[in-house]
Amino acid sequence: MTNAMIKDVMIRLDGTSADDARLAAAAQIAAMFDGHITGLFFNIVRELDGGGAEQTEQSKEAARQAGDATEAILFQRLTRLQLSTNLRRFDVIGDLDMSETALLLARTADTFVALRPNGRSNEPPDLIDNLLFGTGRHLFLVPDDWTGFRPLDNAIVAWNGSRESARAIAEALPLLQLAKKVGVLVVEGERLSSGDPLKANDAVQHLRHHGIDAVKYRAVGEEDDTADILVEECRSLSANLLVLGSYGHSGLHELLPGSTTTRILRIAPFPLLIAH
């Protein structure tokens, strides 16, 4: 029995094939912890530019009717999971309205499941940004084609001693306690400082205090290459979850294109548990 749980799993559903990966992740996490899934369906009812009142109302009504059909499909998909679920629908006027609504709701969830932003996924551009930096909770981000853990064999925690790393470990504890193996990975520079060999030792000890038999891994590389090093190390260790803190004090869209967080979000072929 774990001493930490993920009981409230939140997920955005849109009725497209992208829901397959989202639902696979949400269902598996909920099953692990006997948790509840809240599906959010944001039906876009846009205001027409330059249209007359009658035309605008007809457009809104068509959007509402299309939303009714999608809502019915989503309700059936959630019901078929045979888990504790509910679906909440919101008619919104655009992506900004969607992101702001999701932000308030996600603050009362344990995790928010979404597709990782990779230039192909259809997550609204500001949604991941707002949730990551505004909820105080972690995001569980999966690749578009993800079908679930088989099982959670090996989780890796990226550790650099930052506040964000600490938040990520705290948020990830429930999953780390279920993983067969847990590693704490530190990326060191080519020129080691006197304290570098001790990096991550305290993080490993912290996890062991929680009953997690963590081990430490070290990799060497330049700061600009951290994202690629983390992904490559995870691949070589056959990791199927990477836990990391998001680095930066502003939204992802304001981070440098080559920043560690932004690059990992775009190239990681495995799920990410990310917190700020």
What average pLDDT does the segment 31-44 reach? 97
> What element of type H or E holds 154?
strand 154-158
Which residue is it, tokens 């094939």? 17
- CA end-to-end span of the chain, whole Å? 27
- Tell me how far apart the alpha carbons of residues 88 and 85 are, in angstroms, rounded to a whole number: 10
Q: Is 131 left (phi over 0), alpha (psi -120 to 50) or beta?
A: alpha
User: Which residues of the chain are in CATH 3.40.50.620 domains?
Assistant: 8-142, 154-275
pLDDT of residue 95: 87
Residue 205 has pLDDT above 50, yes or no: yes
What average pLDDT does the segment 30-36 reach? 97
What average pLDDT does the segment 11-16 reach? 96
pLDDT digits (tens, 9 = 90+) for 56-65: 788 889 999 9
Q: Which CATH number fits domain 154-275: 1.10.3210.10, 3.40.50.620, 3.40.50.720, 3.40.50.2300?
A: 3.40.50.620
Tokens of 163: 């506040």
For the purposes of burial, counting CB atoms within 10 Å of the CB of 27, is it exposed (0-12), middle (13-18) or buried (19 or more)? buried
Q: Which residue has the higher pLDDT, 142 or 250?
A: 142
Closest by Cα among 39, 16, 214 to 120 = 16
Helices (H), 18-116: 19-33, 53-80, 95-106
The two most distant CA atoms of the chain are separated, in Å, by 73
- Tell me how far apart the alpha carbons of residues 236 and 228 are, in angstroms, rounded to a whole number: 12
Q: Could you tell me the pTM of the whole model?
A: 0.91
pLDDT digits (tens, 9 = 90+) for 224-249: 889 999 999 999 999 999 999 986 54
Closest by Cα among 264, 204, 270 to 235 = 270
Residue 1 has pLDDT above 70, yes or no: no
pLDDT digits (tens, 9 = 90+) for 70-124: 999 999 999 999 999 999 999 999 888 999 999 999 999 999 999 998 766 678 8
Contacts of 174 (CB under 8 A, 6+ apart): 2, 4, 5, 6, 33
Closest by Cα among 273, 243, 264, 217 to 158 = 243
Q: Which residue has the higher pLDDT, 258 or 187?
A: 187
CATH tag, 8-142: 3.40.50.620
- Tell me how far apart the alpha carbons of residues 157 and 143 are, in angstroms, rounded to a whole number: 18
For the purposes of burial, counting CB atoms within 10 Å of the CB of 182, is it exposed (0-12), middle (13-18) or buried (19 or more)? buried
pLDDT of residue 265: 87
